[in-house]
């Protein structure tokens, strides 16, 4: 499955480089959804909620009302996870909270099958809190720890996120070998060949900058579903 990404900051659809520098703004949220209508699911990340500077709940709810969305950003409590489900989220992405007792509470509140755990890697280590704090763990080390609480993983190769320089397929191969749970790859995916290799591995691809800049054709991607 190929998932176009809609990242929201300050009420606008944006694309960031490595989670920090805004590179571009997209169309209005519903216009982006219209562009992505050929794809069965959309990945929505509330960047303001992720870094704790606010939330874009009205836009999230609007998007979820018009498409099947997996939603992340600031999901650090069972209450927040429940609210996203009530707003129409199909699945909820949990990042920072996965490393706290809150993960078990979130799983109890909305069900393991609704949860994707985000494992974001930079410099070989998992980063949390909007990619601003590095942990001592590698993604390969923690996959099994989280399997009881989720139905899959969103794994982002932050080193190349938004840079359009390609991703690290070897890393994704190691992750695929380490778990039988669903994996969605993100971070630097730039070519059709990379997507085909991920598909061969049984890994979904979440796409951002390469789609927004036109490097990857939405028409061609739709044919690859």
Q: Who wins on pLDDT, 136 or 138?
A: 138
pLDDT at 213 over 70: yes
CA gap 4, 6 in Å, rounded: 7
CA gap 58, 147 in Å, rounded: 31
What is the per-residue pLDDT for 19? 63
Read off the pLDDT of residues 62-81 as tens digits, 9 standing for 90 and up: 999 999 999 999 999 999 99
Average pLDDT, the chain: 92
The residue from 7, 21, 48, 159 that is catalytic is 7
Question: DSSP string of the chain?
Answer: -EEEEEEEETTEEEEEETTTEEEEE-S-HHHHHHHTTTSS-EEEEEHHHHHTS---HHHHHHHHHHS-EEEESS--SHHHHHHHHHTT-SEEEE-GGGGSTHHHHHHHHH-GGGEEEEEEEETTEEEETTTTEE-S--HHHHHHHHGGG-SEEEEEEGGGTTT-S---HHHHHHHHHH--SEEEEESS---HHHHHHHHHHT-EEEE-HHHHTTSS-HHHHHHT-
Q: Where are the domains of the chain?
A: 2-223
pLDDT at 15 over 80: yes
Pick the CATH number of 2-223 from 3.40.30.10, 3.40.640.10, 3.20.20.70, 3.50.50.60: 3.20.20.70
pLDDT-based confidence at residue 24 (cuts at 50, 70, 90): confident
What is the per-residue pLDDT for 37? 96
CB distance 47 to 15 below 8 Å: no
7 is catalytic: yes
What is the per-residue pLDDT for 173? 97
Read off the pLDDT of residues 75-130 as tens digits, 9 standing for 90 and up: 999 999 999 999 999 999 999 899 999 999 999 999 999 999 999 999 889 888 77
Q: Who wins on pLDDT, 60 or 134?
A: 60
What is the per-residue pLDDT for 132? 73
pLDDT at 42 over 90: yes
pLDDT-based confidence at residue 198 (cuts at 50, 70, 90): very high
pLDDT at 160 over 80: no
Mean pLDDT score, 12-40: 85
The residue from 120, 159, 168, 180 that is catalytic is 120
Q: Of 86, 88, 187, 109, which is closest to residue 97 (Cα–Cα)?
A: 109
What is the per-residue pLDDT for 18? 64
168 is catalytic: no
Q: Are strands 42-46 and 21-25 parallel, antiparallel or unpaired?
A: unpaired
CA gap 167, 170 in Å, rounded: 9
CB distance 218 to 188 below 8 Å: no
């Amino acid at each position: 499955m190929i998932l176009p990404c809609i990242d929201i900051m300050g009420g606008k659809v944006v694309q960031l480089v490595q989670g920090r520098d805004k590179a571009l703004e997209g169309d209005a949220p519903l216009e982006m959804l219209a562009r992505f209508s050929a794809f069965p699911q959309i990945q929505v990340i509330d960047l303001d909620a992720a870094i704790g500077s606010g939330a874009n709940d009205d836009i999230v709810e609007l998007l979820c009302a018009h498409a099947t969305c997996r939603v992340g950003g600031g999901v650090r409590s069972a209450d927040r996870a429940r609210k996203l489900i009530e707003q129409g989220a199909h699945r909820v992405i949990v990042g920072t909270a996965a490393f706290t007792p809150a993960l078990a509470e979130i799983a109890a509140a909305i069900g393991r099958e609704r949860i994707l755990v985000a494992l974001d890697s930079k410099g070989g280590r998992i980063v949390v809190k909007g990619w601003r704090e590095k942990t001592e763990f590698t993604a390969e080390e923690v996959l099994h720890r989280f399997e009881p609480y989720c139905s899959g993983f969103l794994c982002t190769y932050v080193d190349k996120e938004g840079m359009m320089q390609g991703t690290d397929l070897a890393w994704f191969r190691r992750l695929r070998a380490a778990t039988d749970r669903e994996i969605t790859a993100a971070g630097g995916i730039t070519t059709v060949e990379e997507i085909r290799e991920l598909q061969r591995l049984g890994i979904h691809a979440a796409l951002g900058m390469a789609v927004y800049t036109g490097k990857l054709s939405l028409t061609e991607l739709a044919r690859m579903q």
